[in-house]
Structure 1
Amino acid sequence: MVPEERDGRDHGEERERPRRARRPAPESKRPAPANRRAPAETRRPATTARSAARSAARQLRDLTGHDPESVTSVERQRDGGWLIGVEVLETHRIPDSTDILAEYRVEVDDDGELVSYRRARRYYRGRSEERT
């Protein structure tokens, strides 16, 4: 048996790949030291508008037992919390145009926890401009 000649090409053998040296991160992208906090105006809120709205709708459903139909408004408060408008189905009727809907104003803190809620208005689905 004659040994195979090597022609310098890779014939399926595994080779160790050289590791690339990491470049240091630019000064602006380096994480802040743990003992220093960024100024309040540059810090990201603990809760985003989307997660605050989801949290408000979920907690409102848990408290009232009414299923949320939609989020109608999201407003950032000066104290860091959120004021969320949530539309819920309060009474289902046939036909659907006579369902009674309500809009609740739900306030959650910066961590997404419920602070307060109140019903702002009630109306028939088919006549959303009229109050009941």
Structure 2
Amino acid sequence: VKEASRRPPRRSLVRLGLAGIPPIFSDLWSFLQELDAEVVFNEMPRQFSMPYHTADLVEQYWRYTYPYDINGRLADLAEAAAVRRLDGIIHYTQSFCFRQMFDQTLRERLPVPILTIEGDGPTPLDARTRLRLEAFVDVLRP
């Protein structure tokens, strides 16, 4: 963290959040970089980093929002959208995963545009997903 705080901020044009499970696409990050977009909030790694200062380990686990009901998760994502000034959120789901059922609720209750992408194996982005990401970033671009 100390090293990162000394680096100059990146000047990406579009600030994105990534919600959902970690994406399995092998080239998602490099493709977003090509589009001058950057993921400045990544839900899962942040959740598992135990970023909250609490009295004990039990409280740390209670602060996780992903495995519990949608309301805590929505509040966490809305706060991240405001604090990190997100232009949009990419919601990654795994094919046929029960987490897909939260997608509509995220769209209705979060204050930023959301693009849902889906994957099922460790492959590069397919042409359809690349086109959808490119269009999403273009719409968000200032």
The normalised TM-score by structure 2 is: 0.21
Greater percentage in helix? 2
Structure number with the higher strand fraction is 1
Structure exhibiting the larger radius of gyration computed from Cα positions: 1
TM value normalised by structure 1? 0.23
User: Taking CA–CA contacts closer than 8 Å with sequence separation of 6 or more, which of the two structures ends up with the larger relative contact order?
Assistant: 2
